Amino acid sequence: MKKLTTKLTIAATVLVAAASVASAQMTAQIPFEFRVGNRVMAPGAYRVDSLETGSDTKVFRILDVHSQQSVAILPQARVDPQQAWRAGGNPKLLFACTSGRCALAQLWSGSESYAYQFAGPKLGKDEEAILRVIPMQRDKAE
């Protein structure tokens, strides 16, 4: 039941977001396969948009520039960005990788006082995630 509720919430948010204006457009070159929500994305160039929903909730769209396939994702929580990220001021994506599989863990736009955290991979008893940081570029329109 919890999964159904979560999926319905995401679907409703995506519908609201579809009618919204995208802001905070960024691009990233991701050199490895990764998971966003339930989707597996190929390595390549991606555009990351923050979609304004008219409420306090943010929705992010990850768009594969080559295939034009995208996925919308809701963050689980707001967290403090790493201090080194703040010092540089450039947007970042953080991936948690385990057993050769990577998943989006955090996103920071470079201009907000917090980063957004996403559900990560399930870890085994003695398993640790390797964290990989991918820099993003702000689009010139900003």
State residue 16's pLDDT score.
44
The CA-atom distances, in angstroms, between 12 and each of 19, 37, 42, 68, 132 are 11, 16, 26, 22, 31
Q: How far apart are CA 92 and CA 113, in angstroms?
A: 13
State residue 60's pLDDT score.
94
**3-class secondary structure, 67:** coil
pLDDT digits (tens, 9 = 90+) for 64-97: 999 999 999 999 999 999 999 998 889 999 999 9
The CA-atom distances, in angstroms, between 52 and each of 35, 58, 96, 123, 141 are 23, 6, 26, 32, 17
State residue 23's pLDDT score.
58
Q: Regarding predicted confidence, which is higher, 129 or 64?
A: 64
**pTM of the shown model:** 0.79
Please, which residues bridge with residue 77 across strands? 117
Of the chain, the end-to-end C-alpha distance in Å amounts to 41
